Amino acid sequence: MNEQWVELAERLTPALHETKAAPKRLVEVAADADAFQGWRMEPAWDVEELRNKTFGKGESFTLDFGDHCVGYVSFAVDSAGSPQDAPLKLKLTFGEMPCEIGENFADYDGWLSSSWLQEETMYIDVLPAIVRMPRRYSFRYLKVEVVDASRKYTATFSDFVCVSVSSADRSAVPPLPADVPDDLRTMDRIALKTLEDCMQTVYEDGPKRDRRLWIGDLRLQAQANYVTFGDRDLARRCLYLFAGMPLPNGAVSACVFETPKPHADDIHLYDYSLFFAACLHDYYEATKDRETLEELWPVALRQLRIGVERLDARGVVKDDPSWWCFIDWVEGLNKQAPAQAVLIYNLRRGLKLAELVGAPEAGRIAEQLQRALDAALAHLWDARLGAFVSGEERQVSWASQVWMALAEALPREETAALFDRLHAAPPAVGMNTPYMYHHYVEALFLCGRTEKAWEEVRAYWGEMVRDGADTFWEAYNPNDKKFSPYGSNVINSYCHAWSCTPTYFVRTYWGN
């Protein structure tokens, strides 16, 4: 651990802005096979009527706060009727989406811990009471159930408030150009809300689940931040946290925790470690902070060296059980070709960094870049198929083509022609996350297929809007809307960092 760097990161911890949100209405969840994931919300009664209603054992109500909230909830509760002769037992369920209110958490059978499901059981011994919940929640809907009380009294509820928190400064966001169409403005607004709710004391990957800093999310969040909130210090803090707490071999960890004190997770992802070079490159391009560039350059160089160590005698990334590479949540996706492309992508940015700092390693990085490029074309490009292949079975996937496009493995015109062929005959191995779709859209912009890029933004994030998104989601397959990489859609994150990039696209590419 580099304690000085971690201490610097701690000094860069931002203050959190607070805003208060109150429920807008009361609703009831209803099963509906035609609704997103089989559930919809129906209006129940006006929120002001809550003060006039009482609730006994087995009764419940659901509040709709009208938009996504990340913060701390408080409310008032009292008894009605006879004196309170037994504790009031309540169950509170928080949901970002209707499915979390409609489905029974007791039936959850996913492989992530059920402790991420947002529910609380509490006992209130003395009424009246003001309840201030100490945990932070990420939600739009709040279901309150009276699990038990005595037969002598009922409960009344009022003054529900969520104090929402974020380190993002809304006033810093520049207005959109006047010619941006309404549908893209809507996506920009939702993307900004997604980014805002994930900007806490680090760039969280999701405020509902994980609630920590992953480098893959950081890279996309920071890109969106640079053209919106413009928060330089938060990105810098995150870079120093990763740099200051490497794994034993010098690799950057895939994610880090802030509490009880800063520490790195023990996960090494091949692609995520390499992305430290891209994160540092993007940070410098946005801020021109040369001091940080020069101080963290050795860390970026170390990630490139570790990445190159995995090349075999041909110059191709070894594909065996000894590694873990993310790329996308797609069952059966072979990672060899996309990982090769991620290496090339980061070697390109590492070379730029080396030249900026005048590093003697620049020549060696240029050689490694050329070797990886030559190997990709010699061993992973199939001229007969007109596509890049991956692994022993020579799999053709969207991920391989997208990342090779971003790596600029082919000339721009040939990359555009490759995408034209893919759109005519799509690969069987598709994409399941906004993370992968971001890279797909970016690749389309890069090769000049601008019209198609906007078409895909509208088809993918626009479909999320049509499905009721207040913030954009962690996982989304328009053809399988209950898709979850974890075995259950109720554990999915419905406000997720890597899905915030429509605001980046609109503010970077619209009109260009």
Per-residue pLDDT reduced to its tens digit, 452-476: 999 999 999 999 999 999 999 999 9
Location of structure tokens 């209405």:
25
Q: What is the pLDDT of residue 512?
A: 79
As a whole number of angstroms, the distance between CA 392 and CA 386 comes to 18
Q: What is the pLDDT of residue 427?
A: 96
Cβ proximity of 456 and 440 under 8 Å? yes
According to DSSP, the residues that pair with 142 across neighbouring strands are: 63, 94
Question: What are the b/e assignments for 176-206, b being 16+ CB within 10 Å?
Answer: eeeebeeebeebbebbbbbbbbbbbbbbbbb
Where do the structural domains in the chain lie, given as residue ranges? 17-166
- Each residue of 321-348: pLDDT tens digit? 889 999 999 999 999 999 999 999 999 9
Residue 68 pLDDT class (50, 70, 90 cuts): very high
In eight-state DSSP terms, residue 429 is: B
- Each residue of 148-196: pLDDT tens digit? 999 999 999 999 999 999 999 999 999 999 999 999 999 999 999 999 9
Residue 391 pLDDT class (50, 70, 90 cuts): very high
Residue 153 φ then ψ, to 5°: -140, 160
Residue 409's CB: how many other CB atoms inside 10 A?
A: 24
Picking from 42-51, 97-106, 240-249, 283-292, which range would have the lowest pLDDT averaged per residue?
Answer: 42-51
Residue 111's CB: how many other CB atoms inside 10 A?
A: 10
As a whole number of angstroms, the distance between CA 286 and CA 227 comes to 9
Residue type, 259: T
SS3 at position 94: strand
According to DSSP, the residues that pair with 30 across neighbouring strands are: 40
As a whole number of angstroms, the distance between CA 89 and CA 87 comes to 6
CATH of domain 17-166: 2.60.120.260
- Each residue of 207-216: pLDDT tens digit? 999 999 999 9
In eight-state DSSP terms, residue 14 is: P
Nearest CA-CA partner of 363 in 377, 345, 350 = 350
Residue 511 pLDDT class (50, 70, 90 cuts): confident
- Each residue of 401-456: pLDDT tens digit? 999 999 999 999 999 999 999 999 999 999 999 999 999 999 999 999 999 999 99
Mean pLDDT (the chain) is 97
As a whole number of angstroms, the distance between CA 327 and CA 325 comes to 6
Residue 200 pLDDT class (50, 70, 90 cuts): very high
pLDDT at 364 over 90: yes
- Each residue of 74-120: pLDDT tens digit? 999 999 999 999 999 999 999 999 999 999 999 999 999 999 999 99
Give the chain's largest Cα–Cα span.
83
As a whole number of angstroms, the distance between CA 355 and CA 366 comes to 10
As a whole number of angstroms, the distance between CA 300 and CA 242 comes to 11
Q: What is the pLDDT of residue 342?
A: 98
In eight-state DSSP terms, residue 112 is: S
Q: What is the pLDDT of residue 72?
A: 98
Residue 27 pLDDT class (50, 70, 90 cuts): very high
According to DSSP, the residues that pair with 163 across neighbouring strands are: 20, 72
On whether the pTM is more than 0.85, the answer is: yes
Cβ proximity of 93 and 100 under 8 Å? yes
As a whole number of angstroms, the distance between CA 203 and CA 234 comes to 8
Q: 188: left (phi > 0), else alpha (psi -120 to 50), else beta?
A: alpha
Helix (H) or strand (E) holding 28: strand 25-31
pLDDT at 503 over 90: yes
Q: What is the pLDDT of residue 357?
A: 98
As a whole number of angstroms, the distance between CA 62 and CA 60 comes to 7
Q: What is the pLDDT of residue 321?
A: 87
As a whole number of angstroms, the distance between CA 135 and CA 145 comes to 18
As a whole number of angstroms, the distance between CA 494 and CA 333 comes to 24
As a whole number of angstroms, the distance between CA 373 and CA 390 comes to 15
Location of structure tokens 């996504």:
68
Peptide bond into 260 cis (omega under 30): yes
Average pLDDT of span 51-67: 97
Cβ proximity of 200 and 207 under 8 Å? yes
Location of structure tokens 């209006």:
43
Share of the chain above pLDDT 70, in %: 100
C-alpha distances in Å from residue 471, one per residue of 139, 163, 442: 10, 18, 21
Nearest CA-CA partner of 243 in 286, 196, 290, 301 = 301
Q: CA 298 from chain center: how many Å?
A: 28
